[in-house]
A and B are shown apart, each in its own frame.
Chain A
Amino acid sequence: MRDTLTSLRYRYWPDHLLGEILSKRWTETAIPVILLLIVGFALSRSIDHFLSPASLADTARQAGEIGFIGLGMALVVIVGGIDLSVGSIFALTDFCALYLLDVLNWPVPAVVVATLACGALLGAVNGILIGYLRLRAFITTLITLIIYRSAFDLLIQRYSNSIAAAFPDIPSWNFIGGGDVFGIPSVALVYIAIAIFGHIFMTRLRPGWHITAIGGSRRSAYNSGIPVRRTIALCYVASGALTSIAALFFAARLGTVGGDIGVGLEVIVLTATVLGGITLGGGKGSVAKSLVGVLIVLLITNGLTTLNARGGINRMALAGILLVAAMVDIRWQKNRTRIISKVYVAPTYHALPPPATEIGQGGPFEQNDKLRDVELIGLGRIEAPEDVILDRNNNLYAGSRHGDIMRFFAPDYQRMEVFAHIGGQPLGMAFDRQDNLYVCIGGMGLYRITPDGTVEKATDETNRSMHSVNDDSRLRLADDLDITDDGLIFFSEATVRYEMDEWPIDGLEARGNGRIICYDTKTGATHTALRGLKFPNGICVASDGQSILFAETFGCSIKRLWFAGPKKGQVEVVMDNLPGYPDNINLASDGNYWLALVGMRSPSLDLAWKMPGFRRRMAKRVPVDEWLFPNINTGCVVKFNEQGKILESFWDLRGENHPMITSMREHRGYLYLGGIMNNRIGRYKLDNADPNFVQYDKRWGKAS
């Protein structure tokens, strides 16, 4: 009863998605967006006409103006600084625009250009001081805040009356101030244009990447040749220029130079920036985050004003929000990877009945020590030969954890050379009709090695599945393969959620994270044939030529997938509830199949697989070295027939001579054994085996 509930709970509640979503970079934008929606919803419920077009247009106007300053601030914060002088620059450039227009009567285009230049110049002062003279951003901009503000105060004493007296009625100026296109205010249009450019700039253009790089690590950026000082200086120039754009629209809209213009603006913009999720430490942020932050702040301040909150309360609320946002930001940045690693591992319910073949009571799994005296090849000279294969000249090929394919020469296999260097851990191997060696490389994909040792990539990606949060188009753990008569290569990818060295975590999860992928050697196309498999591993084309047999290691089963014929696309269980964990499958000379059981099931892990909560807590509290593991120290080789009946088994019980078996290959009367944790290859003389059997020669109908 309880097991049924547990199984239902884990079947229908996707625990694994939480970690996958959190590890996406867009979650950091999603959280402010959610906050924005909540604030917007709350305010629209408590204030009438909050979402009316007029109200929205008004909000958009203000949002545009603050938005420009927000963009500048975002740029400066991303590069690792801060700009407190934006409020004063805003006031000065506002004055500049109105002075030029009202007192000097310059034409509007000239006013625009001059104001922008003025803003850039004011920003450049910051830029030179901080970028080139390397003053602290905080103190420098605090000083320029005071200086600019004092200059503004002095200037308005002289000119405020003449500015206030003028009422310019120029259509283009009025359009800047209050015009709209299809109801969208002019300021919002310009903002949208600049925001789109800003997004492309930050994400797709070299200078944008430089800015992010400098913010992330100034020293590394310098060491990689980025002009750090110039880039920083230019960011402050851009901040000044963007502020002057905001001032232009403000000037055109209101036309005043009151004494309190831009006072406290830096706090509003800073709150917006931090609230949007742009980290104060630098190196992280986007245009979207800046926009979201500005909208939240604006909605809150406007909402509070409409609700008749007093100015003090308004500011206090903003300051409070800034404090909370900065705190959340710091804690999140510090603990992000830890939180993700804690929630990413999501074990699921996996029930296997006790193995039907009780070991030690007769039957085909009866233990023996036939493999105790296997001959050892390359002892101490090869490391991690997951799979072994032999060519028709009896040379032996095996992968090594150094990323090489090693070749041992017949007849005594004493001489060894590096046949090809690939760089990733070679796993399953198969020869095609032209004697090319296809190899699955953990972490890299499917590779082809020509007979002269040239390495070529066959495929390293497949179609991305629609309903997967993680991008599963790249191959993470290609494991074993076989080639059909039509040149289709079916290979297994053990897991899409973890890297190769993290296979124990996938075993802990026991979810169907793996898939079978098909690569067409004729067209070069790759597609996913089957997904949701529990660590699919060995693959072998069956004798009928229309189906493949594949092993699900943690599913403890062998299944058959038809790729041709009347049952095309169907999956059928050949053997299930095996007493061990199946690995590679290969043809035997008598038409049956060899299967490596890499390890045997233990009752304690079988029970743990039925208790996902237990495993989740274990993953969190117990170090990996102490986790309950599948027992892969003892394994065996079994032979099974087309009907899924075990015919015989070969053991090395204490694992003294050949501890682990992940693969086996029959060749001219011998069985060659590979093991991914071994420093040796085993060779066992088979009784009654065809002394001329060469697997891929028989396969391709060649005489050997």
Chain B
Amino acid sequence: MIAAVREFANRFLGRGEATITVPSFDGALKPNQKLEAATTLLECEAPEDLATDGRNLYVADGRRLLRLDGSAATELRSFEQPISALCALVDGGIAVALGGREVRLYANPSSGEPSLTFSDVAFNAINALTLAGDGTLIATDGSATCGVDDWARDLMELNRSGRVFRLDPKTRSVKPLASKLGYAFGACVRGDGVLVSESWRHRLVLVADGRAPQIVLGRLPVYPSRLSKATGGGYWLTAFTARTQLIEFVLREPAYRRRMMAEIDPAYWVAPRLRSGFSFKEPMQGAHIKTMGVIKPWAPPRSYGLVIRLGEDGKPLYSLHSRVDGVNHGVVAALELGSDLILIAKGPGRVLKLPLAGLAEETGS
């Protein structure tokens, strides 16, 4: 009863849960345009995920699995469904998630038949795979109801049905590690647990067997996505899009959301996107008005590009941005290969390369 009254008062006065404030890009997240300076290795239709075994760089592009040597792409194989996650295995093999519903393991990237297939009925939107130390695979599943590409609906429906699974190739068993997450998207092993991006709750949590998820990094101004290990300790955390006050507001407006989902083409929803500015039917916000021929980089982002370098403790050290007036938005995957950082900017459909040397000094706080 008291909770209901409080919720009503909050809604009426716009405070508590009803506030729509978004943390600012501050400190280690101070904006720059580093991602705009990245070299484009490859432009393709639908780049989704990256994987490397230390020598080869694999790119999932829609249904195709590519190997990238410099900027030359070789198609290794193609699947009947789009690849939704990719992971290189220790022995030179590769694991792919297909359409979010199935995980296949191959002994080598071009071998014909999968060595093992996991297709648990619980799988719905597997969007990231990572290797755990004990030879098992960790898979994050964003939503129990919305497909991999339908994440905006999952956000707008306020779903909290993300899950983390442990796939054991030896026993061929699937074991849930965590559930009821606000869109699990990306994981990386840390100690005996797994760091998981919880996009809709704007945070990183540490998930381990038999423990409640523990917040490692919270209150992000962005929706975090896939993670990878960085050399010298720490992690690369990508953020596929940023939060805005308007979207936070819409998330607290059930009637508008319901009608928007029912009546409007998803491309034109008031929802975060991987790319923007391609149609005048997209929602426009006040600061987006081109004044004197310029779009302000500080305008509220409908799409954004961001990679955050996290320290060993999970706290941000520095970050690489592509702001509102930039192009390389929707960064969903980042990994280190040699002395470079390789990224996928899903918005413009690009695989990008950024030399690591000097990055920390230039952008660090």
A→B interface (CB under 8 Å): 383, 504, 599-605, 607-608, 611, 614, 617-618, 620-634, 654-655, 659-660, 677-680
Please name the residue on chain B nearest to A655 by beta carbon: B290
**Cβ–Cβ < 8 Å partners of A677 in chain B:** 289-292
Q: Is the CB of B14 within 8 A of A620?
A: yes
Q: Is the CB of A626 within 8 A of B286?
A: yes
**Cβ–Cβ < 8 Å partners of B287 in chain A:** 625-626
Q: Is the CB of B280 within 8 A of A607?
A: no
Q: Is the CB of A602 within 8 A of B280?
A: yes
Interface positions of B from 278 to 327, Cβ below 8 Å from A: 280-293, 295, 299-300
Interface positions of B from 220 to 265, Cβ below 8 Å from A: 244-246, 249, 253, 255-256, 259-260, 263-265
- Judged by a CB distance under 8 angstroms, whether B269 is at the interface is yes
Q: Is the CB of A607 within 8 A of B256?
A: yes
Please name the residue on chain B nearest to A580 by beta carbon: B280
- Judged by a CB distance under 8 angstroms, whether B268 is at the interface is yes
Please name the residue on chain A nearest to B19 by beta carbon: A621
Q: CA–CA, A618 to B249, complex, Å?
A: 7
Q: Is the CB of B292 within 8 A of A625?
A: no
**Cβ–Cβ < 8 Å partners of A631 in chain B:** 280-284
Q: CA–CA, A633 to B283, complex, Å?
A: 11
Q: CA–CA, A608 to B245, complex, Å?
A: 16
Please name the residue on chain A nearest to B244 by beta carbon: A626
- Judged by a CB distance under 8 angstroms, whether B270 is at the interface is yes
Q: Which of B255, B256, B292 is within 8 Å of A679, CB to CB?
A: B292
**Cβ–Cβ < 8 Å partners of B20 in chain A:** 621-622
> For B244, B269, B283, B287, which residue has the most chain A Cβ atoms within 10 angstroms?
B283
B151 to chain A, nearest CB (A): 18
30 CB < 8 A contacts A-B: A601-B281, A602-B281, A602-B283, A602-B284, A603-B268, A604-B264, A604-B268, A604-B283, A605-B284, A614-B255, A617-B253, A620-B14, A621-B249, A622-B246, A622-B249, A623-B245, A628-B246, A628-B270, A628-B284, A629-B289, A631-B281, A631-B283, A632-B289, A654-B277, A659-B293, A660-B290, A677-B290, A677-B292, A678-B293, A679-B293
Q: Is the CB of B293 within 8 A of A680?
A: yes
Please name the residue on chain B nearest to A635 by beta carbon: B280
Q: Is the CB of B286 within 8 A of A625?
A: yes
For the A-B complex with A603-B281, A604-B270, A611-B255 known, give 14 more contacts whose Cβ atoms are closer than 8 Å. A504-B286, A600-B281, A602-B282, A621-B14, A621-B249, A623-B286, A625-B299, A626-B285, A628-B270, A631-B280, A631-B283, A633-B280, A633-B290, A660-B289
B241 to chain A, nearest CB (A): 15
Please name the residue on chain A nearest to B11 by beta carbon: A617
**Cβ–Cβ < 8 Å partners of A607 in chain B:** 256, 259-260, 263-264
Interface of B is mostly: loop
A581 to chain B, nearest CB (A): 11
> For A504, A625, A629, A634, which residue has the most chain B Cβ atoms within 10 angstroms?
A625
Q: Is the CB of B270 within 8 A of A627?
A: no
Please name the residue on chain B nearest to A632 by beta carbon: B289
A167 to chain B, nearest CB (A): 67
Q: Which of B14, B244, B284, B293 is within 8 Å of A629, CB to CB?
A: B284
B259 to chain A, nearest CB (A): 6
Q: CA–CA, A624 to B290, complex, Å?
A: 15
**Cβ–Cβ < 8 Å partners of A622 in chain B:** 20, 245-246, 249
Q: Is the CB of A630 within 8 A of B284?
A: yes
Please name the residue on chain A nearest to B277 by beta carbon: A654
**Cβ–Cβ < 8 Å partners of B300 in chain A:** 625-626
Please name the residue on chain B nearest to A608 by beta carbon: B256
Q: Is the CB of B246 within 8 A of A611?
A: no
Q: Is the CB of B246 within 8 A of A627?
A: yes
Q: Is the CB of B286 within 8 A of A604?
A: no
Q: CA–CA, A543 to B297, complex, Å?
A: 46
Q: Is the CB of B256 within 8 A of A602?
A: no
A168 to chain B, nearest CB (A): 66
Please name the residue on chain B nearest to A620 by beta carbon: B14
Q: Is the CB of A678 within 8 A of B270?
A: no
Q: CA–CA, A604 to B253, complex, Å?
A: 13
> For A608, A626, A679, which residue has the most chain B Cβ atoms within 10 angstroms?
A626
Q: Is the CB of B245 within 8 A of A626?
A: yes
User: Closest 8 interchain pairs by CB?
Assistant: A634-B280, A600-B280, A625-B287, A604-B283, A679-B292, A631-B284, A659-B290, A625-B286
Q: CA–CA, A617 to B295, complex, Å?
A: 27
A6 to chain B, nearest CB (A): 11
Please name the residue on chain A nearest to B265 by beta carbon: A603
**Cβ–Cβ < 8 Å partners of A604 in chain B:** 260, 264, 268-270, 283
Q: CA–CA, A626 to B280, complex, Å?
A: 17
**Cβ–Cβ < 8 Å partners of B282 in chain A:** 602, 631
A382 to chain B, nearest CB (A): 10
Please name the residue on chain A nearest to B263 by beta carbon: A607
Q: CA–CA, A18 to B235, complex, Å?
A: 55
**Cβ–Cβ < 8 Å partners of A618 in chain B:** 246, 249
Q: CA–CA, A216 to B281, complex, Å?
A: 51
Evaluate whether A633 and B284 lie within 8 angstroms (CB atoms) in the complex, with A626-B300, A678-B293 already known: yes
Evaluate whether A614 and B246 lie within 8 angstroms (CB atoms) in the complex, with A603-B281, A604-B283, A626-B285 already known: no
Q: CA–CA, A620 to B246, complex, Å?
A: 12
A52 to chain B, nearest CB (A): 47
**Cβ–Cβ < 8 Å partners of B263 in chain A:** 603, 607
**Cβ–Cβ < 8 Å partners of A678 in chain B:** 292-293
Q: CA–CA, A551 to B260, complex, Å?
A: 29
Q: Is the CB of B259 within 8 A of A611?
A: yes
Q: CA–CA, A634 to B293, complex, Å?
A: 12
**Cβ–Cβ < 8 Å partners of A679 in chain B:** 292-293
Interface positions of B from 1 to 53, Cβ below 8 Å from A: 14, 20
Please name the residue on chain B nearest to A660 by beta carbon: B290
Q: CA–CA, A109 to B246, complex, Å?
A: 75
Please name the residue on chain A nearest to B249 by beta carbon: A622
B143 to chain A, nearest CB (A): 23
